[in-house]
Structure formats: C-alpha cells, structure tokens
Chains A and B, each alone.
Chain A
Amino acid sequence: MTGLLDIRRLSVAFGPTRALSDIDLALEPGTRLGLVGESGSGKSTLGLAVLGLLPPDAACTGEVRFQGEPLPWSDDRAMTRVRGRRIGFIYQDPMAAFSPVHTIGTHITRALRAAHPGVGRREALDWSVALLEEVEINKPRERLDHYPNEYSGGMLQRVMIAAALVGDPDLLIADEPTTALDVTTQASVLGMLDRIVEARGMGFILISHDLGVVAEACREVAVMYGGKLIQRVALADLKAEAHPYTRALLEARPTFGKRGQRLSTIADFLPSDWFDDA
C-alpha cells in the first residue's frame, strides 16, 4: 500500500535562516496528525512547502511524494492541479483570507470552478448554496451576495473549510484553523472539521500551538522545534514517553491541577545550528 504523504529530507532556508532542516515525515491515508510547536518552529512553513506555495526567495531541497508520486514543485501549472483537488488548505486568519471587494459567492464559485473546470455558472451557484448549507450558514442563497466584512470570523472560517473541501482532496492541511476565533466558536469549528474529516476518511494535518486543540481532533502528534521534527508519538502515549521539550510544552499548559501556581515557561533560546554561517 502506498502512503498518502512521504516527506524526505525536506529543508527550507530563507537566506541564511534555516526554517526547516531535514524533515522526514510519512502519513498513511486517513492519518490525523497534529503538528505542534512554538511560533517560528517551522510548522506553517512545512504546510506551505508541501503545497509548493513558499515565497520565491525560499530555498527548498528534499522531496515530497504524494500518493506515490513526487510533487512537481517546479511546474506551477501541474501544482495548480494538485492544490484544491488533492490537497486542501485552510488558513489561520479567516478575516484576512477573503478579498474584501468580492462577495462570498464569488470566492466560493471561483474555488469551485478551479477544482472542477467544467462546471458552468448556474451549476456553480446551486453547488455553492449547497456548500454553505453543509457548513451551517443560514439563508445561504441570500448570504452568497454578502461581502466578507458582513460575516463573522466563525462563519468565514466555515466558508473557508467548505471552499477547501470542494475539490474533494485526499489530504487537508489546516494551519491554526481556530486560533483567530473565540473559544466557543473554536469548539464548533473544530467539531465540524472533526466530523468532515471522519466522514470522508481523508488525511489531516492540523498545525497548532495548542495541544488541547490537537488532542480533540488528532490521534498522533508531531512536535517541531527550531525547524526540526523532534518527536512523533501517538496521542495516548504523549505523557508517558515525551521528549524533554515536549514535556516542557505539556507543563506550560494551564490545567485545573495547577490552580494558584505559576505556569512554567520555556526558556527562550535559539538552537546553535539555526544559522548556517554561525
């Protein structure tokens, strides 16, 4: 059986700064992996690297195989057919993820027709209505004509999820999908993602700095630090066999048992090999 995603010795550098070094990560179909780490640990870079959407000044080496074939990063037109149709992506800040001068309907139909080039205008409209219904937007037909600033953050995030799923991808990468939302909305969006991923049996990479969020939606955790993947472990075993850094992350979480105590923090230092020419 071929794996879903196979990342081999992936390194990314921006000038002298190494964002990712020698990442090896394999995913079987249907795997739900939480990718955790502090800001700057390279989580988001890893997601964008897989999609081939790193900024042009990024130097990228290594290989990523998707369903057995290497991803054609150097060929943007070929990558265009991978994005949306085989790998879906959800961005962290729903308020910034929509163009302010286009209606929600425009955004959805464009995503839809990118994933299904043959679809006509009328069909795309009906399909968009159905999609909004699926992510629980009330009065979808009317709502299509509204602009992003007339939606709440939670609604926008649900629309973005609908748009990411329209091409029926086999892998969904969600980059901090709930970070910009308030706690109640977080729970409902996370619950919705959980149901959809479960129902479609798709692979799922949830990028987050919040172990609680990951625990809710994933079965495995990969911990990143300073551009390196330092540990990958099943969620159930996380506490038992944690790497010292993972243990530090766990201890930094506020829990009921620690009421009245100071939360522990992680000492602020950079790994010595962060810079190539150091």
Chain B
Amino acid sequence: MIRIAASRLATSLIALLGAALFAFIALRVAPGDAARLVLGPFATDEAVQALRVKMGLDDPLPVQFWHYLTSFVSGDWGWSYSLGQSVRDLLGERFPATLELGLYAFLFALVAAVSLAVIGAFRRGLLSDGVPRALSVFALAVPQFWFGIVALIIGFEMLGLFPGPSGRLPPGVTAPAGPTGLYTIDALLAGDLATFATALHYLALPAITLGLLPFGFLLRLLRANLLDVAGEPFVLVARAQGQSHFRVFLRYVLPNAIIPTLMASGLILGQLLAGSVLVERVFNWPGAGSLVTQGLLQQDYSVVQTFILLSAFIYILANLFVDLLAAAIDPRIARGAGQ
C-alpha cells in the first residue's frame, strides 16, 4: 500500500509538471507580446524592450520555465494587468467559491446516484428501477444552463423556496471569516449554524444544476455495473450457501460494482472543481469561472495560466485520492502495482 502510494505520487508529480509545461507553452505561443500588452500601443520600442528584459522574456525558454516554476511554488502567481491586482489575491477571493460549488455539486451527484442505483438494482420494480432510468436520461440530455434557469423560475420565482441568483449569501450577511474560504465549512468551524444553513440554502440550486450531468452519468454507470456483477457466478454461489439476497447484494455485489464508479468520480470531481463557467453565470456565482472568461477575452494570460495550473493540480490530486481508495478496495490493483 505504501509502495503503491509512492508510485502514484510520483506519477502525479510528473503529470503536474506536464500541466505546468503545457500552461507555460500555451502562454508563449499565444499571439501578442506580454510587454506590449502591458505598456499599450503607444509605448516606444525601447520601453517595450526594457520591460521585456525586466520581465525575463529575453531569457532562454528553459530559464524562463524554471523562473515560472519557482515563482509559482513560492506563491508569486503574477499580476493581472486588466484588473490591476495580483493573481494570487484575485484567485484567493474567487477560487473558494468555485471550490465550494464544485464540492457540493459532486456530493449531490455521488450521493443521489449511488442511492438511486442501489435501490433500483436491488429491487427491480417499475418504480424503483424505472424512475432512476428516466432520471439518468433526463440528467444527461438537459443542458445545464437551461436547467439552471428553469430551476430559478420554479424554485425562486414561482414557489419562492430558494434564493434568486444573487451569489453566495444574502446582502447584509457578512461572510464567515475562516481559513478555508468555503462559507459552509467556515461557518461550521465558527459554530455559526444560522450562516451555515443560509450558505447551504444559497448553494442548493447551483449545486444541483452543476451536479446534474455527472449525476446522470454516475447513475447510469453504477446501475449497469451493479446489474453486471449481480449476474456473476460468485453471487449465485453465495446465495446457494444460504446468504440472503440483501446481504449478498451489500457484501458482494456493491463492493465489486462500485470501483469503476469511484474511478469515474475522481475525474468528475476534478472537472467540477475546475470548470463551471456557465452555471456560475446563470446564478451570478462569484467564482473563478467568470474571472477566467474575462481573462481570456482581455488576453490577461497570467490569470488564465494560473487557473489552468490550479485546476490541473486539483484534478490530479482528486485522481490520486481515488486511485488509493480503489487500491484499498481491490487487492488486485495493490498487488499488481507491487510486482
């Protein structure tokens, strides 16, 4: 287990380096001269050249890459010229909102998919099996932004059950101060249950909207795997030994069927944490998605580049975690890596 952890960690580091290299190259081949962009069209060539030297753009590419890596690791993520703020401050403000939304979307997708798939596969009736099947098709077919708008019209406009598209907290409520920047967790840490409930209430619709697609995907995947495994001979043998339907399902079918779902959910978690531009837009969510769109449109590449690297980092971390989890469940993975 320690060996597999070490080997996965090494692969993750290589992947991370690859992501950094990609972000670096993407910035170098992008049209436009960064120094020219900073100084504007009326600056003299001498001034631009001087700034190029100052920014290190005249150094050989490997040296530039080295500088870029070391400054990223030391927390210097560059300067956003369009917003006049350091990228670190900007993302520090916006990224937690995206993280929290992605995390809750993921939780919703996983919990809902697993429970519905399990109920449907355990007792295959019209209601218990038909409803999950219809739901998964719906979730996969519906465009996210459309679902978000409809959810707002019904949940906010018509029924008034949920808050409108007004961000993470109602105006007047101060954000809980805390180390994570995730309002629900910070509120819990501070013991402020009222703010926790409010933040959760504001998260509900955006999280469900964002989690809808992965929910449908995971539901479909797990349901198919459960039905597959239920037909395996070892299930028949366990039943023939006098173990009840429920126990065999819980002890043999579920552990064998859930591994592909866990692996897939690692990829999904990474995706959810990284990109939710459309959903953030619909709900006016003050996350990193809108910041990045803006950065792209205004050629503010240091913002985009840092965001790419951060999402890659989270994505790789999520996969590392899932790999280790799968190895803990399936001994063949752990032993296979040891050989």
* Residues of chain B lying within 8 A (CB to CB) of residue A85: 242
Answer whether residue A163 sits at the interface, using C-beta atoms and an 8 A cutoff: yes
Check A91/B236 contact, CB under 8 A, given A147-B331, A149-B332.
yes
Please determine whether B331 and A53 come into contact, CB atoms closer than 8 angstroms. no
Partner of B241, one of A77, A96, A100, A164: A164
Please determine whether B256 and A111 come into contact, CB atoms closer than 8 angstroms. no
The interface size of chain B toward A, counting residues with CB under 8 Å, comes to 25
* Residues of chain A lying within 8 A (CB to CB) of residue B239: 53, 83
Nearest CB of chain A from residue B232's CB, rounded to whole Å: 7
* Residues of chain A lying within 8 A (CB to CB) of residue B243: 80, 84, 110-111, 114
**Docked pose: A256 CA to B204 CA in angstroms:** 78
Check A99/B256 contact, CB under 8 A, given A91-B233, A91-B237.
yes
* Residues of chain B lying within 8 A (CB to CB) of residue A127: none
Answer whether residue B329 sits at the interface, using C-beta atoms and an 8 A cutoff: yes
Check A102/B332 contact, CB under 8 A, given A89-B237, A91-B236, A167-B242.
no
* Residues of chain A lying within 8 A (CB to CB) of residue B329: 101
Q: Give a binary string over A161-178; 1 marks a CB under 8 Å from any B CB, 0 the rest.
A: 001101100000000000
**Docked pose: A188 CA to B256 CA in angstroms:** 32
Please determine whether B241 and A115 come into contact, CB atoms closer than 8 angstroms. yes
Please determine whether A102 and B252 come into contact, CB atoms closer than 8 angstroms. yes
Q: Give a binary string over A62-79; 1 marks a CB under 8 Å from any B CB, 0 the rest.
A: 000000000000001100
Answer whether residue B330 sits at the interface, using C-beta atoms and an 8 A cutoff: yes
Please determine whether A83 and B241 come into contact, CB atoms closer than 8 angstroms. yes
Q: Which of A80-109 contact B (CB under 8 A)?
A: 80-85, 88-89, 91, 93, 96-103, 107
Q: Which of B289-339 contact A (CB under 8 A)?
A: 329-332, 335
* Residues of chain B lying within 8 A (CB to CB) of residue A98: 234, 237
Q: Is the interface of B mostly helix, strand, loop or mixed?
A: helix
- Least CB separation from A89: chain B residue: B240
Nearest CB of chain A from residue B4's CB, rounded to whole Å: 15
Nearest CB of chain B from residue A114's CB, rounded to whole Å: 4
Partner of A102, one of B124, B242, B255: B255
Please determine whether A115 and B242 come into contact, CB atoms closer than 8 angstroms. yes
Nearest CB of chain B from residue A186's CB, rounded to whole Å: 19
Check A97/B242 contact, CB under 8 A, given A102-B255, A147-B332, A149-B332.
no
Answer whether residue B251 sits at the interface, using C-beta atoms and an 8 A cutoff: yes
Answer whether residue A33 sits at the interface, using C-beta atoms and an 8 A cutoff: no
Answer whether residue B238 sits at the interface, using C-beta atoms and an 8 A cutoff: yes
* Residues of chain A lying within 8 A (CB to CB) of residue B332: 100-101, 147, 149
Q: Which of A135-178 contact B (CB under 8 A)?
A: 147, 149, 160, 163-164, 166-167
Residues of B within 8 A of A (CB): 124, 232-234, 236-245, 247, 251-252, 255-256, 259, 329-332, 335
Apart from A84-B242, A89-B237, A103-B331, what are 15 other A-B pairs with CB-CB below 8 Å? Answer: A53-B239, A56-B124, A77-B244, A80-B242, A80-B244, A84-B243, A89-B241, A91-B237, A99-B252, A101-B255, A101-B331, A111-B241, A114-B243, A115-B241, A147-B331
